[in-house]
Amino acid sequence: MEENLRVGLRSGAGIPPAIFELFPVLKSMLHRRGGDLSGGQQQQLAIGRALACEPRLLILDEPTEGIQPNIVREIGEIIRRLTREAGIGVLLVEQKLAFARRVAESFCLMDKGRVVTSGAIEALSQEMVSQHLSV
């Protein structure tokens, strides 16, 4: 798993300690293989790996998919911390609307690659959801 966190680091650079502050479980499992981790732990590893290169923007594609509820809550808290405390922009692509409403500040709805509406997350109405997100 350690090699997963080192991907993208400059040669000889250490894993930023902030990753272990966000995901303490990764430190205790550093010498395990990534494939041996649970789904939630693998998602934490993937986010940690992305954060290792200290990005200004983090793109997360359905980070809650197949993850147990307590890890989903943790990931939500981490997303909020990254945006509010670390100043990292997060582009969240998510089907679980309740999760997106909890962690997002703004939204953008697209249809066939075209933005159809956007705004502050508080402005996302049930009408918009029914019109653009319902199947």
**126, part of any domain:** no
pLDDT tens digit sequence for 15-36 = 888 899 999 988 888 888 777 8
Is the pLDDT at 135 greater than 70, yes or no? no
**135, part of any domain:** no
Is the pLDDT at 12 greater than 70, yes or no? no
pTM: 0.84
pLDDT tens digit sequence for 115-125 = 999 999 999 99
**121, part of any domain:** no
Residues whose CB falls within 8 Å of the CB of residue 74, separated by 6 or more in sequence, listed in order: 40, 44
3-state secondary structure of 52: helix
Query: Which burial class, exposed, middle or buried, applies to 120 when counting CB atoms under 10 A from its CB (0-12, 13-18, 19+)?
Result: exposed
Q: Count how many domains the chain has.
A: 1
DSSP-assigned letter for residue 116: E
Nearest to 52 by CA among 3, 104, 103: 3
Q: What is the CATH number of the domain that holds 39?
A: 3.40.50.300
**77, part of any domain:** yes
pLDDT tens digit sequence for 70-129 = 999 999 999 999 999 999 999 999 989 999 999 999 999 988 889 999 999 999 999 998
Give me the domain span that covers residue 72.
2-104
